[in-house]
Structure 1
Amino acid sequence: MSVAVEIAVQDEAGLVVAAHAGADRVELCIDLEHGGSTPPLALVEACVSRTRELLAAHDAKPQFGVHVLIRPPSHARDFLGRPELFAFSDDQVEAMAADAAAAVAAGADGVVIGALAQDPDGTWHLDEGATERIRDAALEAAARALRGITVACHRCVDALPDAAARAEAVRTALRLGLGRVLTSGGAERALDGAADIAAMVEASEGIVDICAGGGVRPADIAPLVRASGATDIHLSGRLPSGPAPDAQETLTDPAVCTAAVDAAGAL
């Protein structure tokens, strides 16, 4: 079984650590303490440039790429069960669309997006209109550059109220042509949400990749994949405090990233 490893990084040095560890891609963002938000364009450009250098030197997997999180800043550390944190105004959606287009124009291999909306009866769901607007801006930028990208959905789905709502969000992502959905199955740790993730895998019909992430440690990867059937694993690979030794002043830990890649490769 082939399991891809995605590392969430916040700086260029973290990207290098992930590449050298053998990760398949990075999710580039800032402010991971609050769930992550859109990185500055200058950081996207620097990471794209460094990725090209790494690929030319054969210091990264051939498919290694930069996927940029598109999300406004949030001051909330915990978004589980709080879908209102992903309900965005029209102005915020337009700003995210512009950010997505700019990231792709800068050379990003994909963007990670998402928004939620509430029906009059109080039901929360993936906001198709907002997601389409951001998706289309990214795809139009890719078309102008004559290349393809991946559009993924971030963990907004974990703020939905239950497993049924998350499975329906996957079916919506399928209709919208998204390539991947990141989720913890609505749990603090993806391993604890494995049953819900399995339901999302079933809803994906083998077309949308379900990426299990949220409190993932290398030792979790084998039982998580076996219990959920997820095709991708996401983790930050961070040390809890201070830069990792020999990691160029980044919180991305080479040992954790390498252990995660090894665990996925053993499946």
Structure 2
Amino acid sequence: MHPEKDSFILEVCVESLTNALLASHSGADRIELCHQLACGGVTPSFRDVRNALEKLACPLVVLVRPHGGGFEYDDREKKELLHTLEQLSDAGVAGFAVGAIAGIAWDHSLLQEMTRVAPGKQFVAHRAIDQLIGCEPLGMDRMEQIVEPLIELGFTRILTSGGYATAWQGASNIAKLVEYSHDRIEILAGGGILPENALQIIRTTEVRQIHGSFKRLDAEQPGINVDIDQVRQVRSLLDGLK
């Protein structure tokens, strides 16, 4: 389902149930749950997913990625990925962030298998797409090669920084994706989203959804933790746009 035209969606990416609850209570509309955010995220534990399903009031997207450091998988990893998707789907997860590439294109057969083992679920193409785009202006031909396969497979959403390290740097490409998609698939801007740049990114790209981890440095707690003040600030900024 596409977001309402007069609403702006805030998705927060976290690596623990505690942070998921904090983000939800601070104004997140949707949570992406993963582990090991420092390496770009991997599949969270089944226990964390189950607890999140029980305790979260907002929609949950679960990252399914066997390892960090890339988006190409060997046969064993593909089998593991599909098995995980099937298990999580059966457990009640409604949305998955996935991505798999082969060279300079999507691994179409694997993406197709993903949608087959978890029918009726929402699929989000995560930032593997940024590896396909690269740090260069998006042309129409390349955009068609990247976006159309996802639409044909029934993907709901694309999470992207426009090929660059941050969404602000890739804002021009994100704007092109928004125009090209024409509501056929949702575009979710992510990568370096902060209270200081959230409105600029929205106004420049015309996205209706933004995604961030809003990291807080905390020497007393391991891992990456969410800064609820940043989440609240961005929530307030988005509400002011309505």
What's the TM-score, normalizing by structure 1?
0.81
One-letter code aligned to 2:236: D
Q: Distance in 1 between matches of 2:87 and 2:230?
A: 31
Q: How many Å apart are 1:250 and its aligned residue?
A: 7.0
2:97 aligned to 112, 126, 135, which one? 112
Q: How many Å apart are 1:15 and its aligned residue?
A: 1.0
Q: Distance in 1 between matches of 2:210 and 2:35?
A: 19
Q: Distance in 1 between matches of 2:176 and 2:108?
A: 21
Q: Distance in 1 between matches of 2:16 and 2:188?
A: 22
Superposed CA deviations along residues 54-92 of structure 1, whole A, max 9, x for unmatched, are x3xxxxxxxx11110011122x4xxxxxxxx21222322
CA root-mean-square deviation? 1.8
> Aligned residue for 2:107?
127
Q: Distance in 2 between matches of 1:109 and 1:102?
A: 12
Q: Distance in 2 between matches of 1:222 and 1:154?
A: 22
Q: 1:32 to 1:250 in 2, by over 3 A?
A: closer
> Aligned residue for 1:174?
151
| 2:91 paired with 1:100 | no
Q: How many Å apart are 1:96 and its aligned residue?
A: 1.1
Q: 1:126 to 1:203 in 2, by over 3 A?
A: farther
Superposed CA deviations along residues 233-256 of structure 1, whole A, max 9, x for unmatched, are 000021134468xxxx97112111
One-letter code aligned to 1:102: Q
Superposed CA deviations along residues 174-205 of structure 1, whole A, max 9, x for unmatched, are 11110000000011110111100011112212
> Aligned residue for 1:159?
131
> Aligned residue for 1:35?
40
Q: Distance in 2 between matches of 1:209 and 1:242?
A: 37
| 2:110 paired with 1:136 | no
Aligned residues: 230
> Aligned residue for 1:67?
61
Superposed CA deviations along residues 129-164 of structure 1, whole A, max 9, x for unmatched, are 11111122122xxxxxxxx53111100000113424
One-letter code aligned to 2:109: G
Query: What is the identity percentage for the equivalent residue pairs of Structure 1 and Structure 2?
Result: 29
Q: Which moved more, 1:86-95 or 1:226-235?
A: 86-95
> Which of the pair is proportionally richer in helix?
1
What is the DSSP-based 3-state SS (H/G/I as helix, E as strand, rest coil) of the residue aligned with 2:60?
A: strand
Superposed CA deviations along residues 187-237 of structure 1, whole A, max 9, x for unmatched, are 111011110001111221212110000011022111101111212100002
Q: 1:31 to 1:166 in 2, by over 3 A?
A: farther
One-letter code aligned to 2:49: V
Q: Distance in 1 between matches of 2:220 and 2:183?
A: 39
Q: Distance in 2 between matches of 1:232 and 1:90?
A: 34
Q: Distance in 2 between matches of 1:242 and 1:254?
A: 17
Q: Distance in 2 between matches of 1:34 and 1:250?
A: 11
Q: Distance in 2 between matches of 1:9 and 1:243?
A: 17
What is the DSSP-based 3-state SS (H/G/I as helix, E as strand, rest coil) of the residue aligned with 2:196?
A: helix
> Aligned residue for 1:183?
160
Q: 1:226 to 1:209 in 2, by over 3 A?
A: same
> Aligned residue for 2:28?
23
**Which aligned runs of 4 or more in structure 1 are off by greater than 4 angstroms?**
none
What is the DSSP-based 3-state SS (H/G/I as helix, E as strand, rest coil) of the residue aligned with 1:234?
A: strand
Contact 1:174 1:207 in 2 (8 A): yes
